[in-house]
Amino acid sequence: MKLVKTVNDLQDYLHRLPGGKTVGLVPTMGALHRGHISLVKRALKENPVVVVSIFVNPTQFNDPKDLERYPRNLEADLQLLEEAGVTLVFAPAVEEIYPEPDTRKFNFGALETVMEGKHRPGHFNGVAQVVSKLFDLVKPDKAYFGQKDFQQLAIIKNMVQQLGLPVEIVPCPIVREKSGLAMSSRNELLSAEERKNAAVISETLFKAKELAGQKSVQELAEWMRETINKNPFLHVEYIEIVDETSLQPVNNRNEENTKVACVAAFCGKVRLIDNMVLN
Ligand code: PAF
């Protein structure tokens, strides 16, 4: 496995690759866990060359404290990636990706006015800035993203369409801890007690799936909010039941679309998200 830290070295390496090999890219912000490794494994199955980027992207953090607190652990990350059999790791400094401030403004319409987009202004613009730069530098045939970041996936697909990029976006299923808690780098910031209680978020989503045929969409969302908020460690920021493609709220459970329940909740100071298809 090769580690490169500069754009020059990255491109030098990629240019030397024999032609005709497809390249899979797994963009990450590091602090890797089994969820990331599942993306890497899928990428390795589908491409002879797999590039993993590790870059905590400042432009997608709307809260400077969140950026400061974000877990970083390059040594452990490299070990996991080496064991997985990754070809190349790109771990650049901020100045490599943003030699100058990125002033591009993307427009994702209604996709970005709900949920994460509503509660984290500028977040998806930052995600689009960094992912488009990574696509431009690596020129992957396929790029792999986790479905835990359900709205991010929709935004990235939309960006690829808007920019006409020749990359296939591959969504990968959420990987859960034994307790059901969706794997996230942020879980590392939870105390042992918080981590145990955070599992109430996924328990509630699983139960909501069972109840989806019995309650109206509004009742179900309210039930989820109450159930999660009843736990003293948790505080719901939003619960939305949305259409899988448009991400707009569903009003009637009899609508024939795929409905996804999405949650953002604080466990102490740590903000967690999770989602589940209800039908
Ligand atoms: O999902 C993430 O870890 C990040 O948002 C991504 C896609 C690596 C962009 O920084």
H or E stretch including 207? helix 192-211
Q: Is residue 254 very low, low, confident or very high in pLDDT (cuts 50, 70, 90)?
A: confident
For ligand 1, whether the C-beta of 60 sits within 6 Å is: yes
Q: What is the mean pLDDT of the chain?
A: 97
Catalytic residue among 15, 33, 36, 123: 36
The stretch 27-32 carries a mean pLDDT of 98
* pLDDT recorded at residue 103: 98
The answer as to CATH 3.40.50.620 being correct for domain 2-172 is yes
Q: Answer whether 154's CB lies under 8 Å from 111's CB.
A: yes
The stretch 225-251 carries a mean pLDDT of 97
The answer as to CATH 2.40.50.140 being correct for domain 185-274 is no
The stretch 182-188 carries a mean pLDDT of 96
The stretch 258-265 carries a mean pLDDT of 97
For ligand 1, whether the C-beta of 39 sits within 6 Å is: no
Q: Is residue 6 very low, low, confident or very high in pLDDT (cuts 50, 70, 90)?
A: very high
The stretch 255-262 carries a mean pLDDT of 94
Bridging pattern class, strands 49-54 and 23-28: parallel
Q: Which atom of ligand 1 lies closest to the CA of 60?
A: 10
For ligand 1, whether the C-beta of 127 sits within 6 Å is: yes
Per-domain residue ranges of the chain: 2-172, 185-274
For ligand 1, whether the C-beta of 28 sits within 6 Å is: yes
Q: Name 89's bridge partners.
A: 3, 52
The stretch 96-124 carries a mean pLDDT of 97
Task: Report the chain's C-alpha Rg in angstroms.
Answer: 19
Q: Is 153 helix (H, G, I), strand (E, B) or coil?
A: helix
130-175: per-residue pLDDT in tens? 999 999 999 999 999 999 999 999 999 999 999 999 999 999 999 9
Q: What is the pTM of this model?
A: 0.97
Amino acid at 250: V
Question: Is 36 noted as a catalytic residue in this protein?
Answer: yes
Give whole-number Cα distances, 78 to 9, 65, 87, 131, 259, in Å: 17, 26, 11, 21, 37
Q: Answer whether 52's CB lies under 8 Å from 89's CB.
A: yes
Q: In 3D, which of 191, 273, 201 has the Cα closest to residue 234? A: 201
DSSP-derived secondary structure for 61-82: -SSHHHHHHS---HHHHHHHHH
**Hey, which of 25, 29, 155 would you mutate to test ligand 1's pocket, going by the most ligand atoms within 8 Å of its Cβ?**
29
Q: What is the residue with the minimal CA distance to atom 6 of ligand 1?
A: 28
Q: Answer whether 209's CB lies under 8 Å from 276's CB.
A: yes
45-73: per-residue pLDDT in tens? 999 999 999 999 999 999 999 999 999 99
| Sheet strands side by side (includes 142-146) | 2-4, 88-90, 49-54, 23-28, 142-146, 168-172
